[in-house]
Amino acid sequence: MSIYEKWNAAMDSKDAEAVVNCLHDDYRFVRHQTGTSMNKAEVGEMMRQFMSSDAVHIRERRCLYENTEVFVEHSFMDFADGSREAVLAFYRLQDGLIISCETGATPLTV
């Protein structure tokens, strides 16, 4: 099973621990809103909050490209504050795990 398949299954089942298990210990997430970054522990906490919220939905997620070094994913996200975004995410892989992610997002008004 590819890392994207594991990631996708964890996201579909809203299993925050399985999501965190896809992340390398040196993982960094670059926040598109601010340009700041978060480490594995910080992202783990954020994912636990997302996964426990009935208001957060990730829809129409699809892998645009995947190989042994990267995968690229597109989705639509609904957040607890009522905002919605179209999100393009670029994931770098190392040792079979996700070591970094950078996103670009477009706010949606519909």
d(CA 19, CA 10): 5
Per-residue pLDDT of the chain (110 residues; tens, 9 = 90+): 899 999 999 999 999 999 999 999 999 999 877 889 999 999 999 999 989 999 889 999 999 999 999 999 999 999 989 999 999 999 999 999 999 999 999 999 86
In this prediction, residue 110 carries a pLDDT of 67
DSSP class of 82: S
User: What local confidence, expressed as pLDDT, does residue 33 receive?
Assistant: 75
Q: What is the CATH architecture assignment of 3-108?
A: Roll (3.10)
> Alpha-carbon distance 99 to 94, whole Å?
6
State how beta strands 37-39 and 57-66 pair. unpaired
**Edge-first strand listing for the sheet containing 70-78:** 37-39, 23-30, 97-108, 84-94, 70-78, 57-66
Going from N- to C-terminal start, the domains of the chain cover 3-108
Q: Which two three-digit tokens encode residue 9?
A: 């299954």
Q: For position 34, what pLDDT does the model report?
A: 81
Whole-number pLDDT of residue 72: 98
pLDDT digits (tens, 9 = 90+) for 15-47: 999 999 999 999 999 987 788 999 999 999 999
Q: How many CB atoms lie within 10 A of CB 36?
A: 8
Contact 30, 100 (CB under 8 A): yes
CB atoms within 10 A of CB 50: 19
